Structure 1
Amino acid sequence: MKKVSLLFAILLSGSAFAQTTEPTYAEKLGYPKGKKVLIIHVDDVGMSYESNQGAIKAIREGVANSLSVMMPCGWVPGFVHYWKENRDIDAGLHLTMTSEWKDYRWGPLAGKNQVKGLTDPEGALWRGVADVVKNASPGEVETEIRAQLERARTMGFEPTHLDSHMGTLFATPEFLERYLKVGMQEKIPVMFPGGHNTAIRGEEKMIDKQFEMTQNVGKQLWAAGLPVLDDLENTSYGWKGPENGDKSAKALQQYKTAKYIEAIGKLKPGLTMVIMHCTVHTEVFPQISDSWPTREGDFLAMIDPELRKYIEKEGIILTTWREAMQRRQKVK
């Protein structure tokens, strides 16, 4: 589901932040000045067979180049077993504190007794972010983050990065602190927009104090030896499909490709993560979620030759979290 109000339930103090002309984080990592550098990222891998296949094919046959895995979900082994034979795929953890669907649920990996505040009356994770905020402690959130990382490592899967399902880990300052803490302690890059934030600032209608906070966190992550995003493009989940209601594959592909070209065209230079959710078509996934048109549309856009032509024509650089971390390790 769409990440909720990324950072921006957080109350801040301080003065308005004046933008500077400092180099972008992309430039600091050695990418050419003035270039758009994209991590085209697929969320929700491991959630279902369709999610696995959509992500893998979006990378193998299309322009997507990164993904993240929901470790509490039932199709995680299906992806991890594939990844262990295809370790070139840039794969992180989609840290999961919610279980949002009606009939398809999952529970915390730390176990109910260890994280009672994260567990709803059905024994699953809460459906909504607000429920997590109301019931779970920061300590329980950190316990579950570490349990999900531990399961990945037990399976032989070392993630290239961390991010947050439904934005739950950005919902309070205390949750955010635990998320950043684990990334910095474990030396794993974390998804956090700490640069000029042009796209996400507009989407979230950030006030100056919020923007200043993102700058400060970005500097903290960089000082800890981690790469930092200049921006985040996170609007695709809201692109529901053609206004005429046509949900054919051709119509979804044309619609989503056009939307991605428009969104990428508006981005400023720097390292930007573009978030999406990709599924292949089956009769089953619509029984999980009515979000299937936007997810199938994302997949179809990623494999559309027109999107690849646009990226190549514009001279856009595609990179991964793995490469960004490798570059960061070379910077003094």
Structure 2
Amino acid sequence: MNKALLFLIGFIPTLAFAQNSEASYAEKLGYPKGKKVLIIHVDDVGMSYESNQGAIKAIREGVANSLSVMMPCGWVPGFVNYWKENKDIDAGLHLTMTSEWKDYRWGPLAGKTNVKGLTDSQGAMWRGVADVVKNASPDEVETEIRAQLDRARTMGFEPTHLDSHMGTLFATPEFLERYLKVGMEEKIPVMFPGGHNTAIQAEEKMIADRFEMTQKVGKQLWAAGLPVLDDLENSSYGWKGPENGDKSEKALQQYKTAKYIAALGKLKPGLTMVIMHCTIHTEIFPKISDSWPTREGDFLAMIDPELKKYIEKEGIVLTTWREAMQRRQKVK
């Protein structure tokens, strides 16, 4: 899902971690030293009814504690209407520049005539990140980012943070610059791992100088008064299900819970955002996407008592983007 993010961030050498003696961003925000501090985050809210219910239930009945909304999608009003009566939910914008499914599509909120490079022959957004890079200008990307933020605010929804659907805003330095620019100008935290980045390093090896870039961006965001992630755990979308093909709820839950426990066990101390996609089971969602097993598995893992027990036993601290920003505002 976030190949673009990995491409831009690049390979982070182990030696860089050993040489970095600075306090983590979690410590700078006042979280306990040496603790794993997690934002357990659900993407793709607003995309469908199932996505809305999966995210809400994962937070209300499970250990998830944050989410982000795809503003161009059809089920956004359904979530925002719920959020207006439940504003304790930590909800940001999943800034969306692509429309990847075959039979379920959406277009840009800025309008086709204003962002022609973001639309395909059907008038919808491009299906893939590469097509956005090939056809869209940084100005068009920024225009669409601001249109999505404007729609949220028009609906009375003030986001706690910004992040990027399919990692599109990390696909080029120019796109990333506009994403960071809007966040800093609007004083809205942005998803960007600017710390030790251990989990990303373990996911895919790439060139070393990209690590220095993440450090510079992290310091820039911090100087702008925003909280910064120490790391990002983004591997769950690739956990497709048990090797034997069993897609029963019990099998999916056991498989995904075990995967999350293993992933959390490998994390280093600091503020880490753990990304997932949660949907409840219906007959409709498989018509949208064949990704339903991993999404249902994520939801089932979030409400699994075994995962909650593990988090409590390990003394893992759970937080939100809202709390991180509140803490950042208190740091001089």
Partner of 1:215: 215
* Preserved CA contact (<8 Å) 2:233 2:272: yes
* Preserved CA contact (<8 Å) 1:192 1:229: yes
Give the AA of the match of 2:87: R
SS at 1:104's partner residue? coil
> Is 1:46 aligned with 2:14?
no
Give the AA of the match of 1:91: A
Task: Give the Cα separation in 2 of the matches to 1:181 and 1:264.
Answer: 31
Task: Give the Cα separation in 1 of the matches to 2:54 and 2:8.
Answer: 32
* TM-score, scaled relative to structure 1: 0.97
Count of matched residue positions in the alignment of Structure 1 and Structure 2: 328
Partner of 1:245: 245
Give the AA of the match of 1:318: L
* Preserved CA contact (<8 Å) 1:90 1:160: yes
Task: Give the Cα separation in 1 of the matches to 2:8 and 2:218.
Answer: 18
Question: C-alpha offsets along residues 288-323 of structure 1, whole Å, 9 cap, x if unaligned?
Answer: 000000000000000000000000000000000000
* Preserved CA contact (<8 Å) 1:17 1:212: no
Partner of 2:196: 196
Partner of 2:7: 8
Give the AA of the match of 2:46: G
Give the AA of the match of 1:41: H
The CA deviation at 1:201 is 1.7
The CA deviation at 1:20 is 1.4
Task: Give the Cα separation in 2 of the matches to 1:11 and 1:265.
Answer: 23
Give the AA of the match of 2:223: A
Partner of 2:187: 187
SS at 2:93's partner residue? strand
* Preserved CA contact (<8 Å) 2:232 2:274: yes
How large is the Cα RMSD of the aligned pairs? 1.3
Give the AA of the match of 2:3: V
Gaps of 5+ in 2: none
State, as a whole percentage, how many aligned pairs show the same letter.
88
Partner of 1:153: 153
> Is 1:259 aligned with 2:255?
no
The CA deviation at 1:206 is 3.6
What is the correspondence of 1:1-332 to structure 2 with a 5 Å cutoff? Answer: 2-9=1-8, 19-332=19-332
Task: Give the Cα separation in 2 of the matches to 1:17 and 1:86.
Answer: 42
SS at 2:7's partner residue? coil
* Preserved CA contact (<8 Å) 1:96 1:165: yes
SS at 1:38's partner residue? strand
